[in-house]
Amino acid sequence: DIFASQEEGIKPSKIVDHKVAVVGIAPVVNKDINVSNLSMKQLRDIFTGKITNWKDVGGPDMAITVVNRSSGSGTRTVFEDSVLKGETAVKAQEQDSNGTVQKIISSTPGSISYLASGYISGKNLRAVKVDNVSLTTENIENNKWKIWGYEHMYTHGKAEGQTASFIKYFKSKKVQNGIVKELGYIPLAGMKVDKNSQGKVTSK
Kindly report, residue by residue over 137-147, the tens digit of the pLDDT: 999 999 999 99
Residue 10 has pLDDT above 90, yes or no: no
Q: What is the tens place of the pLDDT at every residue in 121-136?
A: 888 999 999 999 999 9
Q: In this structure, how many other beta carbons lie within 10 angstroms of the beta carbon of residue 132?
A: 9
Whether pLDDT at 3 is above 80 = no
pTM for the model: 0.89
Instruction: List Cβ<8 Å contacts ≥24 apart for 186-190.
Output: 186/21, 186/22, 186/23, 186/24, 186/117, 186/137, 186/140, 186/141, 186/148, 187/21, 187/22, 188/19, 188/20, 188/21, 188/22, 190/137, 190/141
Of the candidate CATH numbers 3.40.190.10, 3.90.1300.10, 3.30.70.20, 2.30.40.10, the domain formed by 4-22+140-203 belongs to 3.40.190.10
Is pLDDT at 41 greater than 80 in this prediction? Answer: yes
pLDDT above 80: residue 11: no
Fold of 25-135: D-Maltodextrin-Binding Protein; domain 2 (3.40.190)
Domains 4-22+140-203 and 25-135 alike in fold: yes
Section 65-92 average pLDDT:
95
Q: What percent of the chain has pLDDT over 90?
A: 88
pLDDT at position 9, please?
Answer: 61
- Kindly list the domain boundaries of the chain, sorted by start residue: 4-22+140-203, 25-135
